[in-house]
Amino acid sequence: MYDILIVGGGTAGLTAAIYARRAGKSVLVLEGTAFGGQITSSHLVENYPALPAVSGLEYAQALAGQAKALGAETKFGKVTAAEETPEGFKVTAGKKEYEGRALILCTGASHRKLGLPNEEALTGRGVSYCAVCDGAFFKDKDTAVVGGGDSALQSALFLSNVCRKVTLIHRRDAFRAQEAAVKAVEGRENIELVMDSQVTALHGESALTGVTVTGKDGTERELAVSGLFVEVGQAPDNGAFAHLAALDEGGYFKAGEDCLTGTGGVFAAGDCRSKALRQLTTAAADGSVAATAACGWLDKR
């Protein structure tokens, strides 16, 4: 029986483990793929305070090492079920079960991809899923954004302040974003709108050199861009915990900045919860808040 079970070993989960261990609680972190989360695939992280230039893998290894050095236990295993018990909570990962008095959900969210050949190989080499993270690498260069929601338009606006030109590609004839964002995009001279079109091919071997854009009528257009920002949504994997923590219409946990889920002893932190900004810094903040809240909840029992 652990004091705190943490589901997910990304920035939020490992930060929660650090704070919980410093508060003297026993902690188990369960991770299904790689400790550190999605950031491990980033070649360079430049927007984390005090770490101006570090690879995502180095960052993740340092964070996991810090949590382990403080005494947090870590195990690989994708949690597929969770339930409340008289003593707290029980989770199932593979064929094993683990129990804890409190539960912190840090399940993250994965970026939806285009599903094109070469996409994986060019990720981090021109293909990106975060303009705020990687936009500065494309200063004074030509880039493109795929998507039609608020995130896509905000990314295009952000990039237009950095890049020479931004092409915004959307598969429909109208955007799904707020009207203010649409007007702002339409008013930027260096943003070109390409509607009723999709990216159908990525070009380049060691780095992205361009993309093929195919219109609804079948016409093709080649764009020479060094950066492609994919903003077609994210997919949280929270279904297994919906009975313990309510989800919003997008599948994210309904938890605010306090990381409370509405179920005593259950907390949500990081990209898996409803929030405006999903970054390493906000995930770390969530982890510290959730762990502190969990420790406070345990101390009152």
Query: Active-site positions?
Result: 130, 133-134
Q: Could you give phi then psi for residue 5, rounded to 5 degrees? A: -95, 135
